[in-house]
């Protein structure tokens, strides 16, 4: 079977499954702790406005990236696999944009409607 042969091929780095030194998991674990503490401190010190948003999104994406890349081994998968999983999630950006536009519009019409009710 092609499968069995592919596993013996030198390009395929892993003989069985994903084997990496334990140190990398411990380091990523530590990093995730640091990043979580940092995002907690954003709330603790009451950062507001764009700074708050920037920091929250930054720490969120860094944590998500570390988990997917190292803990879920995406870093070592073949590109065909990585793209099949990660590219479709980009579509969610469209949904996010539509949601934000629609929500702003709803907020605006509610404002108009409630103001009219006063007169």
Partner 1 sequence: MAQASRTSTAEPLALPEGIQGIVADWSSDQRAFKNVPWGKAMMWIFLLSDTFIFSCFLISYMTVRISTTEPWPNPSEVFGLTLFGKSIPLLLIAIMTFVLISSSGTMAMAVKFGYEKNRKMTFILLLCTAALGATFVGMQAFEWTKLIVHEGIRPWGNPLGAAQFGAAFFMITGFHGTHVSIGVIFLLITATKVIRGDLDHGRPGFMTGRKGKYEIVEIMGLYWHFVDLVWVFIFAVFYLW
Interacting residues toward partner 1 by CB under 8 A? 1-3, 5-9, 11-12, 14, 16-20, 22, 25-26, 28-29, 32-33, 36, 39-40, 42-44, 52, 56-57, 59-60, 63-64, 67-68, 70-73, 77-81, 83-85, 88-89, 92, 95-96, 99-100, 102-104, 106-107, 110-111, 114
Rg for the chain, CA atoms, rounded? 23
The CA distance from 14 to 47, in Å, is: 45
The CA distance from 30 to 9, in Å, is: 35
72 vs 116, beta carbon nearer partner 1? 72
Any idea what DSSP says for residue 68? I
CB-CB neighbours of 72 under 10 Å = 12
CB of 106 to partner 1, least distance (A): 4
């Amino acid at each position: 079977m092609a499968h069995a042969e592919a596993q013996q091929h030198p390009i395929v780095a892993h003989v069985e499954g994903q084997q990496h030194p334990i140190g990398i998991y411990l380091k990523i674990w530590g990093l995730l702790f640091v990043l979580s503490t940092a995002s907690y401190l954003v709330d603790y010190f009451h950062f507001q406005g764009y700074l708050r948003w920037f920091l929250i999104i930054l720490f969120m994406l860094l944590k998500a990236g570390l988990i997917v890349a190292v803990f879920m081994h995406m870093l070592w998968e073949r590109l065909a696999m990585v793209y099949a999983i990660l590219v479709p999630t980009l579509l969610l950006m469209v949904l996010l944009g539509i949601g934000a536009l629609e929500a702003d519009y709803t907020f605006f019409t509610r404002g108009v409607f409630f103001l009219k009710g006063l007169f």
